Structure 1
Amino acid sequence: MTKLFATTALVATLALPAYAAQPAEGETLSDNQSLSFWILDAFKSLDPQLTSSRTDSDMIRQLFEGLMNEDATGAMIPGVAESYEMSDDGMTYTFKLRDSNWSNGDPVTANDFVYAWRRAVDPATASEYAWFMELMNIVSASEIVKGEAAPDTLGVTAVDDHTLEVKLTKPTPYFLKTLSHATTYPTPQKVIEAEGDAWTQPGKMVSNGAYKLESHDLGVEGVAVRNENYWNNDETIIDTVRFVTVNDQNIGLTRYLAGEIDWMNTLPAGRFPQLLEEYPDEAVSAPWSCSYAYLFNLSDKGPEALKDLRVRQALAYGIDRDIIVDRVLQGGQRPAYYWTHWATEGYEAPEIEMSEWTQAERIEKAKALLEEAGYGPDNPLSLSIQYNTSEDHRKLAIAVQQFWKAIGVNATLNNYEWKVHIDRLNNQDFEVARYAWCADYNEASSFLDYFRTGGYNQGKWSNAEYDQLLADAATAENPNDLYKQAEAILIQDMALAPTYHYAMAQMIKPDIRGVPLENVMSSWYAKDMYRVAE
Structure 2
Amino acid sequence: MNIKATLKLSAAALVFATAALAEGTHPVTGEALADNQTFSYRLLDQFPTLDPQLNEETAGHHVIRDLFEGLMIQDADGNLIPGVATGFEASNNNQTYTFTLRPEAKWSNGDPVVAEDFVYGWQRAVDPANASPYAWYMELASIVNAKEIVAGEMDPTELGVKAIDDHTLEVQLTQPLPYFPAMTTYATMMPAHRATIEAHGAKWTDPENIVSNGAYVLTEMVLNEYHTREKNPMYWNADSVIIEKTTGYVINDVNQALTRYKAGEIDHLEPLPDGQFPVLQEERPDEATSVPRLCSYYYAFNLRDGAKPELQDPRVRQALAYAIDRDVIVNQILKGGQWPAYNFAHLKTAGFEMPEIEYASMSQADRDAKAKELMEEAGVSDLQLKLIYNTSDSHKAIATIVAAMWKQKLGVETTLENMEWKTYLDVRRDGQFDVARGAWCADYNEASTFLDLLTTPHGSNDAKYSSAEYDELLSTSKTSDNPNEMYTKAEKLLSVDMPIAPIYHYANTFLLSSDVKGWPYNNAENNWYSKDLYRIEK
**Shorter-chain TM band:** over 0.9
| 2:68 aligned with 1:64 | yes
SS at 1:180's partner residue? Answer: coil
Q: Which amino acid aligns with 2:407?
A: K
Partner of 2:248: 243
1:320–1:359: 8 Å Cα contact kept in structure 2? yes
* Residue of structure 2 equivalent to 1:150: 155
Give the counterpart letter for 1:285 in structure 2: S
User: For 1:83 and 1:425, how far apart are their aligned partners in 2?
Assistant: 39
Corresponding position of 1:5? 4
- Match in the other structure for 2:129: 124
User: Matched residue of 2:184: which SS?
Assistant: helix
Q: TM-score, with normalisation over the residues of structure 1?
A: 0.96
- For 1:134, the equivalent position in structure 2 comes to 139
Which residues of 2 match residues 262-341 of structure 1 at below 5 A?
A: 262-341=267-346
Q: How far apart, CA to CA, are the structure 1 residues paired with 2:292 and 2:345?
A: 13
| Aligned match of 2:107 | 102
Kindly provide the amino acid, as one letter, of the partner of residue 233 in structure 2.
E
Q: CA 1:124–1:305 in structure 2 vs 1: closer, same or farther (change >3 Å)?
A: same
Query: 2:456 corresponds to which residue?
Result: 453
Alpha-carbon deviation of 1:14?
A: 6.7
Aligned to 1:424: 427
Mapped pair 1:442 → 2:441 = no
Q: Report deviation, 1:145.
A: 0.5
SS, match of residue 215 in structure 1 = strand
Paired residue for 2:398, among 391, 396, 399? Answer: 396
Instruction: Kindly state the Cα deviation for residue 490 of structure 1 after the two structures are TM-superposed.
Output: 1.5
The whole-number CA distance in structure 2 between the counterparts of 1:266 and 1:481 is 34
Per the alignment, residue 414 of structure 2 pairs with 411
Instruction: Give the AA of the match of 2:120.
Output: Y
Q: Choose from 524, 527, 532 the match for 2:531.
A: 527
Deviation at residue 83 of structure 1 after TM alignment: 1.4
Shift, 1:528, TM fit: 0.7
> Per-residue displacement from partner, 1:11-40 (whole Å, max 9, x unpaired)?
645796799995544410001110001110
Corresponding residue for residue 81 of structure 1: 85
- Following TM superposition, where does structure 1 have runs of at least 4 consecutive aligned residues deviating by more than 6 angstroms? 14-21
User: Matched residues in 2 for 1:13 and 1:415: separation?
Assistant: 48
Contact 1:226 1:239 in 2 (8 A): yes
- Unaligned residue ranges in structure 1 (runs of 5+): none
CA distance in 1 between counterparts of 2:318 and 2:483 reads 28
Aligned to 1:197: 202
**Counterpart selection for 1:231 from 228, 232, 236:** 236
* Partner-residue secondary structure (3-state), 1:4: coil
Q: 1:45 aligns with which of 39, 43, 49?
A: 49
- Consecutive unaligned residues of structure 2, counting only runs of 5 or more, are none
How far apart, in 1, do the equivalents of 2:191 and 2:535 lie?
A: 30
1:301–1:429 CA contact under 8 A, matched in 2: no
Counterparts of 1:314 and 1:254, CA distance in 2 = 40
- Aligned 8 A contact 2:17 2:27 in 1: no
Kindly, what percent of the aligned residue pairs are identical? 51
Shift of 1:88: 3.7
Q: Deviations over 1:290-316 (max 9, x none)?
A: 000111000114211100111000000
1:91 is aligned to 2:95: yes
SS at match of 2:461: coil
Structure 2 residue identity aligned to 1:267: L
* RMSD over equivalenced CA pairs, Å: 1.6
Contact 2:7 2:82 in 1 (8 A): no
Rounded Cα–Cα distance in structure 1 between residues aligned with 2:483 and 2:360: 24
Q: 1:195-254: per-residue Cα shift (whole Å, max 9, x none)?
A: 000000011000000000000001100100000000000000000010111011111111
For 1:19 and 1:274, how far apart are their aligned partners in 2? 39
> Does structure 2 conserve the Cα–Cα contact (< 8 Å) formed by 1:48 and 1:185?
yes
Contact 1:5 1:11 (C-alpha < 8 Å) held by counterparts = no
**1:367 maps to amino acid:** K
**Alignment partner, residue 515 of structure 1:** 519
2:395 aligned partner, one-letter code: H
What secondary structure does 2:424 align onto? helix
Deviates more, 1:17-26 or 1:29-38: 17-26
Residue identity opposite 1:191 in structure 2: T
Contact 1:133–1:141 (Cα < 8 Å) also in 2: yes
For the residue of structure 1 that corresponds to 2:278, the secondary structure is helix
Given candidates 448, 469, 489, the residue that maps to 1:465 is: 469
Verify the 8 A CA contact 2:7 2:86 in the aligned structure 1.
Answer: no
Q: Is the 8 A contact 1:83 1:95 kept in 2?
A: yes
SS in structure 2 opposite 1:113? helix
Note the C-alpha offset of 1:192. Answer: 0.3
* Equivalent residue number for residue 264 of structure 2: 259
Q: Does the CA contact (< 8 Å) of 2:50 and 2:205 recur in 1?
A: yes
SS at match of 1:468: helix
Q: Which amino acid aligns with 2:107?
A: W
Which residue of 2 is the match for residue 381 of structure 1? 383
Distance between the aligned counterparts of 2:496 and 2:8, measured in 1?
Answer: 45
Q: Following the alignment from structure 1 to structure 2, what is the Cα–Cα distance between the partners of residues 506 and 4?
A: 36
1:352 to 357, 376, 382: 357
Q: State the alpha-carbon separation in 2 of the partners of residues 217 and 181 from structure 1.
A: 25
**Residues of 2 paired with 1:173 and 1:409: CA distance?**
46
1:60-88 CA distances to partner (integer Å, 9 max, x unpaired)? 00000000000111110000000112214
108-117 or 345-354: which moved more?
Answer: 345-354
Q: 1:372 aligns with which of 364, 374, 377?
A: 377
Query: Would you say the 8 A contact 2:342–2:360 is kept in 1?
Result: yes
Deviation at 1:93, TM superposition (A): 1.0
Contact 1:296–1:433 (CA under 8 A) maintained in structure 2: yes
Indicate conservation of the 8 Å contact 1:211/1:226, yes or no. yes
Q: Secondary structure at the match of 1:31?
A: coil
User: Is this contact kept in 1: 2:310–2:380, CA < 8 A?
Assistant: no
1:403 offset after TM fit, Å?
A: 0.8
Cα separation, 2, equivalents of 1:515 and 1:489: 38
| 1: CA distance, partners of 2:481 / 2:17 | 30
Q: What count of residue pairs does the alignment treat as equivalent?
A: 527
The 8 Å contact of residues 270 and 510 in structure 2, kept in 1 or not, is answered as: yes
Give, in angstroms, the shift of residue 481 of structure 1: 1.6
Q: Deviations over 1:493-529 (max 9, x none)?
A: 1011100000001000000111101000010101011
CA distance in 2, matches of 1:512, 1:345: 28
- 1:138-168 superposed Cα distances (whole Å, 9 cap, x missing partner): 0000000011111000000011111111011
Aligned AA for 1:67? L
Other structure's SS at 2:522 match: coil
Q: What is the one-letter code of the residue matched to 2:404?
A: Q
Cα contact 1:43–1:218 (8 A) shared by 2: no
- TM-score for the superposition, normalised by structure 2: 0.96
